Each structure stands twice: as C-alpha cells, then as structure tokens.
Structure 1
Amino acid sequence: MSDKPVTLAAVTGAHGVAGEVRLKLFGEGVDALKPHKRFNEGALTLVKIRSDNKGGAIARFAEVMDRTSAEQLRGTALSVSREVLPDLEKDEFYFSDLIDLAVVTEAGEPLGRVCAVENYGATDIIEIEKADGAKFMVPLTKQAVPGWDDARLTLNADFVD
C-alpha cells in the first residue's frame, strides 16, 4: 500500500465559465488540500482553492483555461503521492487503502471487493461488491470488520447481506 497514491478529492463538474471546477472532498475539508500544489503526478497544478460552503470546494488549476476544459475533468480523481502526506497514527488509515481489497469471511470464504468507503456522520461505512455485481454496505467497526491487511479485508459473517 505504501506506494499507492492517495485520492483527496474528485472533480464533479465545472463552476462558472472561467475554468474553475467543483470538487467532492474525501479528506478533512478544503484545508487538507491547500498544502498540495501538484496532483496526479504533476498533471494538475493547483492555483487557487476555496470552500463552496456546502462541504465541497471550488478550485482553479493552471492547466484549465475555460469551462469546456473544466467539464472534461468531470470524474477525475485528484491524487497525491503518499510521501507528501503526514505520517499516520496507530489505527489510522486512508480510505484509498481499502478500495479494491478482496473481502472474505472470518472462515476465508470469498465475498467480493471493497468498492467504496463513505461516512454519513455516524461512522465509516464500507461498500462491498459481490462477484454477481450486487452491493451491500457494512459499518467499519471492529464487530463487523475484525481486520484487514494489504491483501484482504475480513468481514464478520453476521454482516453479510
């Protein structure tokens, strides 16, 4: 996991006509993005960023000059190298560390893959996609998820949908 880039935000669309973009934030708010000037291995250079006062942000990148270019970025994840991020405390992790992990029961039975991690206020929630495409969500608690490593996430069978 240590060489895997960490996604901090995603472009949700254009904002205005001058090339600004709207961002969905995956971290601790707009202030978590401000220290980073280069995203996606230097492909995007942050010039300006501000809160949209709705939990997201509005950003301007040097490489984006107009609304058409901004719209073309819709869906683009904004990632940085793990080395530029602060060291994690014990029991801390980045959501991106969980994405695409194989999910198994405590007995080792394959269930699918982690396809998303969300937080709706109470606790972190993982979304699991089964081999047949069906999805279900479980809380990211010790009771539901006894643990994970670089290769797989273990799920308590009582939480399997």
Structure 2
Amino acid sequence: MVSQRILVGEFGRPHGVKGLLKLRTFTADPDAISSYGPLSDEGGTRHFAIEVLPGGIARVQGVADRDAAAKLTGLRLYVSRDALPPPEEEEFYLADLLGLRAVTAEGAELGRVVSVEDFGGGSFLTLRDAAGRDSEIPFTRACVPTVDLAGGTCTIVPPDEVVVEGRSAEDEGDDAA
C-alpha cells in the first residue's frame, strides 16, 4: 500500500524566545528536509516554509515568538511522495510497509503491518492479527529478513522475548513452567 504523503520530520519544543523550534528529521540528510518542497501537516491543510539551522533547529516562516512556536510543538511534517527521490534497490520508505501481510518463514500469516514507530530505541512494526490483537516486532534485518513490496508481504522472525498473538504455547517454548 503506497502512501501519497511521507512523514519527513517533526517540530520539537521551542528554542529560545524568537520563534525557533527544535526539529527532528527523518530524512537521510537532515538539512535536506526543506528541499523537498512544501512541508505540510498530516491533513495537508497547513503549509510551512522552514530554514534549517545548525544543531537541529528550525526557523519557520511567520513564527516570530516562543508562544507561536509552542503551538507547533509535536506537529509532524509531510511532503508529497512525488517530491522524494525513488528508493534505491533493496530500500523503501517506511510508509510502504503499511498494509503488508506479515508472514512467518513458513508462510503462516501473522497479520498486517498497521504502523511503523520509533520512540528512540529503534524502529518497530506493529502487526494486527485477524482477531484485532497487536504485536510489536523490532524492525531489524534479523526480525524482518525479507520485505517484498511487489508481493505485498514481509517475513517476520520474532525474537524469543516477543510473543506474537495467535502463536501456540508450543511455538513459544516451555517458558511457563
């Protein structure tokens, strides 16, 4: 499932009193975030022109004081997918993972990828099974060895400490004893 808009950054807390903000970028080159064209909010209704300053700081056009900057804290920034370069071979945008069927190496279905998150400790996939239960899998080569965008699947090898809903106790080993 291909998203038409890609998350490229997020405004953090205000920095100083002149309307500057901390900026968290999700682009390969953090300074390039403003070169992909207009940045917008998730709904695409508000647009932002920014200047990236050293130290992960952003100056937002039209934001001149700390109070105005504070209102933008936590706002996620998106660009049109068309504005981004195509991914290299064996690369993809994380948004491309949404909706993929998650399967075991043997082909058993575990669910679908419903989100990709990163709260600072590394990215992880949230899988939702047919019963609506969620499981979180570290997004590493060891746990997700294959991503097949054309086939609409990703292969999941959960680490021992992660319980994927729907697997039997035998699959989990005899940890309960």
Same fold (TM over 0.5): yes
Offset of residue 13 of structure 1: 1.5
Q: Which whole-Å CA distance do the structure 2 matches of 1:137 and 1:6 have between them?
A: 21
Offset of residue 27 of structure 1: 1.4
Other-structure match for 1:45: 48
Q: In 2 relative to 1, CA 75–69 (structure 1 residues): closer, same or farther, beyond 3 Å?
A: same
Q: In 2 relative to 1, CA 78–150 (structure 1 residues): closer, same or farther, beyond 3 Å?
A: farther
Q: In 2 relative to 1, CA 103–3 (structure 1 residues): closer, same or farther, beyond 3 Å?
A: closer
Which has the larger share of strand?
Answer: 1
Offset from partner CA, 1:124-145 (integer Å, 9 cap, x none): 743325443453324135x733
Offset of residue 96 of structure 1: 2.6
Offset of residue 152 of structure 1: 4.6
| TM-score when normalising by structure 1 | 0.72
Q: Which whole-Å CA distance do the structure 1 matches of 2:147 and 2:62 have between them?
A: 41
Identity %: 22
Q: Which whole-Å CA distance do the structure 2 matches of 1:39 and 1:126 have between them?
A: 25
Q: In 2 relative to 1, CA 8–96 (structure 1 residues): closer, same or farther, beyond 3 Å?
A: same
- Paired residues in the alignment total 153
Offset of residue 73 of structure 1: 1.3
Offset of residue 26 of structure 1: 0.8
Q: In 2 relative to 1, CA 72–119 (structure 1 residues): closer, same or farther, beyond 3 Å?
A: closer
**Code of the aligned partner of 1:155:** T
> Is residue 67 of structure 1 aligned with residue 70 of structure 2?
no
Q: Any residues of structure 2 matched to 1:1-80 within 5 Å, and which?
A: 4-40=4-40, 41=44, 43-52=46-55, 57-80=56-79
Offset from partner CA, 1:91-124 (integer Å, 9 cap, x none): 22122322x3344224342335353255989xx7
Verify the 8 A CA contact 1:44 1:61 in the aligned structure 2. no
Q: Which whole-Å CA distance do the structure 1 matches of 2:66 and 2:157 have between them?
A: 48
Aligned-CA RMSD value: 3.2
Verify the 8 A CA contact 2:3 2:95 in the aligned structure 1. no
**Code of the aligned partner of 2:75:** T
Offset of residue 43 of structure 1: 2.8
Gap runs ≥5 in structure 2: 164-177
Other-structure match for 1:136: 137
**Code of the aligned partner of 1:44:** H
Q: Which whole-Å CA distance do the structure 1 matches of 2:54 and 2:136 have between them?
A: 32
Q: Which whole-Å CA distance do the structure 2 matches of 1:151 and 1:51 have between them?
A: 42
**Code of the aligned partner of 2:33:** L
**Code of the aligned partner of 1:62:** Q
